[in-house]
Amino acid sequence: MLKYNDTLVLVHASLSLAAISLGLVVAVGIWLARRLPRWTAASLVAMLGASVTRLMFLSEGMRTSHWISLALLLTASATALSFFLHQLRGAARVIYVSGAYLSLYLNISLAAVQLIGKGWATRVLRLPPSLSTLMVVEVALLILFVALGAGAIRRYQPPKSKRRSSTNNRVTVPRE
């Protein structure tokens, strides 16, 4: 029988994996300049769920992962507002793209810390489970996501709205 803590760990791990998987789909969609509203919504819900469940482990004290969860909550909120409320107009496009990539980076970074800290990744890759291994992985992830995010901001131009401006709504009749 599962205890409360075991169930919470299972729910949190499932939400974290879902957030990473869905975040990767959204990141590819952004890179290809495609709006994916359902995938974005699912990704944001999974991210928020993973962050909230991570905060439920506060009995261990406030750790770095909890601070990152708070940052993820703020980032996901700004990303959701820019996508759904502001419809990617103006600065909302840059906020959405950078928020999506930052959220994905933070989730993958936390997963890397868990994998290296617990020794799972180091056993598979035959690396020593040390702080230097973690630092190399984190710096590589940071460089990768900064480069991808900067490229995505330049590439992502949402499709033009099909609404006409007020000047185009006038019908002109040629005079004879």
| pLDDT 10s digits, 90-140 | 889 999 999 999 999 999 999 988 887 777 666 666 666 667 778 888 899
Residue 176 resides in a domain? no
Residue 133 domain boundaries = 4-57+64-155
Residues in the chain: 176
The count of structural domains within the chain is 1
Low-confidence ranges of the chain (pLDDT < 70): 1-4, 60, 120-130, 158-176
Residue 170 resides in a domain? no
Contact 48, 15 (CB under 8 A): no
Residue 50 resides in a domain? yes
Helix, strand, coil fractions of the chain, as percent rounded to 5: 75, 0, 25
Q: How many CB atoms lie within 10 A of CB 27?
A: 21
Provide the mean pLDDT of the chain.
Answer: 83
- For the record, the structure tokens of 123 come out as 């056993």
* Amino acid at position 66, single letter: H
Residue 19 resides in a domain? yes
